[in-house]
Structure formats: C-alpha cells, structure tokens
Amino acid sequence: MPGNYRQRARRLIEALTDAPRPSGAKELRDLPGRYRIRLNGWRIIYHLDDENLIILILRVRRKTGPETYQDIE
C-alpha cells in the first residue's frame, strides 16, 4: 500500500474501536459479520464479533473486482 494511503488506513482502522460500523462500512453479501470500508481503490475488510467485542482486520487489498472478496473466511 502506498505511503499516502497507509496513514489514512491506519486512522480508519483505529476509528473502528469507537464506531465498528461507520457510515461507509458495508456488510459483505453471503458473509455475515464481515464488512468492508472503501479507501479510494483500496478495501479494508474486517470481521466484527459483537458478542465478544472483537474487530479482526482480515485484509487490506486493492479493489480489482469480485475476486477482492474471495478467500475471506
């Protein structure tokens, strides 16, 4: 990830502790509890476990098409 996006991604990830479902977050179809946040051409994909209050960052990837969300368990 280029340096100019790294700091912005870090801030978005840190903000999840206060608001785990920010207005720009979208739950992934067919993957309950998995969300994505857009950052220009990049996607921050994370799992939200409300019961145990855990946010797990699964991937930070460049958006390339539907395959961006493959292999996310």
| Residue 48 host element (H or E) | strand 42-49
pLDDT exceeds 90 at position 2:
no
Phi, psi of 5 (to 5 degrees): -95, -25
Please give the pLDDT value at position 71. Answer: 77
Distances from the Cα of 6 to the Cαs of 9, 28, 51, 67, in angstroms? 5, 23, 29, 22
**Which domains can be identified in the chain, with CATH numbers?**
3-65 (3.30.2310.20)
Question: What value does the mean pLDDT take over residues 17-46?
Answer: 92
pLDDT at residue 70 in the model: 77
**Higher per-residue pLDDT: 46 or 72:** 46
pLDDT digit string, tens, across residues 51-64: 888 999 999 989 88
Mean of the per-residue pLDDT values for the chain? 89
